[in-house]
């Protein structure tokens, strides 16, 4: 078999396994198909996810179910204002050995796992949030001058409540940029909520079944990076990201009026990866402009900030993204 034929076969096998994983997750996290798709795409791309939504929408349960379906070791941290960096990273303790000698022993914190759930991440102080920066970017932490590698794979799935501001700290822009996607979890439709009631209030509830393990997930993440991306999709990604930067020659006038800062190259990298992942999730061998359109909002919304005038007008980041997508992609679709 040629290299292209081998790649096609591997993508087909991965797509079948992803169907099993997606079905398994949706047995418990009922009805939120787009949310499940976006979170799975982010994990396939090797990134971290910020889940934003009101309380009681199942964000915590989604993360727990995903860990089971992907076969990953997981830990959960409930972020609070008094949480310290050592509570996340771990610390050294002094041991007294039987012969009377003393030595330091490192006790690993919950960050030493494969899937870390950071619950209500914006409730921790900036000092504690900064403890995650190195872990999220470099997959290692430095404690007492020693570099300690984390688990492989390593993903942070953080939750955030958008309506409670008392006792919270805004996430710094550098940390936000390290999340591959911001996935907004909205209220379910009436039919979906009916299905949730029927599925979760009886004696038996659906449970997730393991479809991956750590080795097969790492292999899938490598495969995603081997998938081809057409010139049309590549140009669309570049056009879209660059058009969202205020002051840029490629940005429309309304962008410079509405935004004070926009996405950097990391956003384009993220969009390249998650469009490939979404293509596989939908049984395709290469991403299309539709993948770019669908994945642009979760990639860009946490990497842009509205100006004061735009907030006063009632504008939203998603509305700006939608307008830019409409201008930049509609012409390419027609062509």
- Using CA atoms, how far apart are residues 238 and 235, in angstroms rounded to an integer? 5
Alpha-carbon distances of 292 from 18, 67, 90, 263, rounded to whole Å = 20, 27, 40, 15
Residues 287 and 278 sit within 8 Å (Cβ to Cβ): yes
Residue with tokens 């969202």: 244
Q: What is the pLDDT of residues 67-88, one digit of tens each?
A: 999 999 999 999 988 899 889 9
Six-digit token string for 91: 């610390």
Strands 115-119, 155-160: pairing kind: parallel
Count CB-CB contacts under 10 A for residue 268.
17
Residues 296 and 236 sit within 8 Å (Cβ to Cβ): no
- Using CA atoms, how far apart are residues 300 and 266, in angstroms rounded to an integer? 10
- For the segment 256-267, the average pLDDT, to the nearest whole number, is 90
The answer on pLDDT for 134 being more than 90 is: no
Using a pLDDT cut of 70, give the percent of the chain over it: 96
Residues 155 and 115 sit within 8 Å (Cβ to Cβ): yes
Residues 52 and 183 sit within 8 Å (Cβ to Cβ): yes
- For the segment 174-202, the average pLDDT, to the nearest whole number, is 88
Alpha-carbon distances of 17 from 93, 215, 245, 287, rounded to whole Å = 43, 14, 38, 19
pLDDT for 167 equals 67
Beta strands in the chain, from DSSP E residues, in sequence order: 49-53, 74-78, 90-96, 102-108, 115-119, 140-143, 146-149, 155-160, 181-185, 259-261, 305-306
pLDDT band at 165 (very low <50, low <70, confident <90, very high): low
- For the segment 277-304, the average pLDDT, to the nearest whole number, is 94
pLDDT for 115 equals 94
Q: What is the pLDDT of residues 205-257, one digit of tens each?
A: 667 788 899 999 999 999 999 999 999 999 999 999 999 998 888 877 788 88
CA nearest to 272, candidates 301, 308, 230, 313: 230
* CA 30 centroid distance within chain: 19
pLDDT for 276 equals 96
- For the segment 22-38, the average pLDDT, to the nearest whole number, is 87
pLDDT for 155 equals 94
Using a pLDDT cut of 90, give the percent of the chain over it: 41
pLDDT for 266 equals 93
pLDDT for 281 equals 93
- For the segment 299-312, the average pLDDT, to the nearest whole number, is 91
Structural domains of the chain, ranges and CATH numbers in brackets:
1-226 (3.40.50.300), 229-335 (1.10.8.80)
């Amino acid at each position: 078999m040629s290299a292209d034929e081998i790649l096609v076969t591997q993508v087909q096998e991965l797509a079948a396994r992803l169907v099993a994983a997606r079905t398994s997750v949706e047995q418990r996290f009922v009805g939120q198909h787009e949310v499940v798709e976006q979170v799975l795409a982010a994990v396939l791309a090797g990134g971290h996810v910020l889940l934003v939504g009101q309380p009681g929408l199942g964000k915590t349960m989604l993360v727990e179910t995903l860990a089971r379906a992907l076969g990953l070791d997981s830990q959960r941290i409930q972020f609070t204002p008094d949480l310290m960096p050592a509570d996340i990273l771990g610390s050294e303790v002094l041991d007294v050995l039987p012969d009377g000698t003393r030595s330091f022993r490192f006790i690993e914190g919950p960050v030493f796992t494969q899937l870390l759930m950071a619950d209500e991440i914006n409730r921790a102080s900036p000092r504690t949030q900064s403890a995650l920066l190195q872990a999220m970017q470099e997959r290692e932490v430095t404690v007492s001058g020693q570099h300690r590698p984390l688990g492989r794979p390593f993903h942070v799935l953080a939750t955030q409540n958008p309506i409670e501001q008392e006792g919270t700290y805004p996430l710094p822009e550098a940390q936000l940029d390290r999340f591959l996607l911001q996935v907004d979890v909205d209220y379910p439709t009436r039919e979906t909520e009916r299905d949730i009631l029927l599925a979760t209030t009886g004696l038996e509830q659906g449970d997730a079944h393991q479809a991956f393990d750590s080795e097969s997930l790492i292999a899938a993440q490598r495969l995603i990076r081997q998938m081809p991306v057409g010139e049309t999709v590549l140009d669309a990604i570049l056009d879209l990201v660059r058009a969202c930067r205020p002051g840029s020659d490629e940005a429309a006038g309304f962008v410079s009026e509405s935004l004070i800062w926009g996405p950097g190259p990391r956003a384009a990298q993220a969009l390249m990866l998650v469009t490939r992942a979404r293509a596989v999730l939908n049984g395709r061998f290469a991403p299309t402009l539709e993948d770019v359109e669908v994945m642009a909002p979760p990639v860009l919304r946490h990497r842009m900030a509205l100006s004061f005038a735009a907030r006063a007008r009632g504008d939203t980041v998603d509305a700006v993204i939608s307008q830019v997508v409409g201008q930049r992609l509609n012409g390419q679709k027609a062509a």
